[in-house]
Amino acid sequence: MNAFRGIGPFEVPAVGLGCMNLSHAYGTPPAPEDAAKLLLAALDAGVTLFDTAALYGFGANEELVGRVLGPYREQIVLASKCGMTGVDGRRVIDGRPETIRRTADEALARLGTDVIDLYYLHRLDGSVPVEESVGALAGLVAAGKVRAIGLSEVSAATLRRAHAVHPVAALQNEYSLWTRNPERGTLAATRELGTALVAFSPVGRGFLTGAPPALADLPPGDIRHAMPRFTDAHYPANLALRAELADLAAGAGLTVAQLALAWVLSRGEHVIAIPGTRSVDHLREDVAVLGLDVPADLLAAAGRILSDETVHGSRYAEATLPEIDTERCGAAG
């Protein structure tokens, strides 16, 4: 496995850090000092790609990342996102050029930097042509406020339209053993265009870890409550599949998370994974996959156990799916 991979003008370890759950989406965030400890542990473990967004904690995550990693700014590749923010306590998708420009200036202030290395359009705004949103991002590059641009949760067709306006350095889509949507178009399109495919939730929102969450233990406000895969109707069947995967991993001396990450990274030399965690031990476990040589037949077996054909339940609720531009695949939504 190539431990370093390109993303726009940068070269980064193939495992970065998704920072969302330090401020957002999974119940009560950790204490600021614990979140800071996790970020610094990632830096110490060799992580250089740190991924945040204006949405996460409605700005709190950008402030956290900027405050903690500011002294190490030249050592990291700093990624953030616009186009989906918190407005009056609600999540709002807004890809208008004027909103993108304003959000970028707010992000620069929160991050305590004069340039963002990689700036994504977090979601496609169905009321705004992607060419207009990407044109605003291109303007930020021309102004020296952004070094490279990306898109998140879009299809291969949308990626191509955007790339015709300005080179897209990275496409961030959910990709894991149980979420295969990129295989319906964007995995090949990113390879063809020289765009990095950045896989978020590569360990299945905690499902593909050493201790998958018990539904009864999910805290109030945890986004998994609204995801069909994490409901009584589907979760037991998915846990049975995970038990098979765990046996496969244990037989090879791997953790489930390591097998899951190795599988994602095996999908192409242009694929980068950004797992998120609040545990320093889990962080080190994730990064350790870069030093492992996992046989191809083991990866293939893992891909047969969990796939879009075997997983139970869609990844998002029906009400959310219209916001997502990615290709759909069976139960994976």
The residues that are catalytic are 56
112: β partners: none
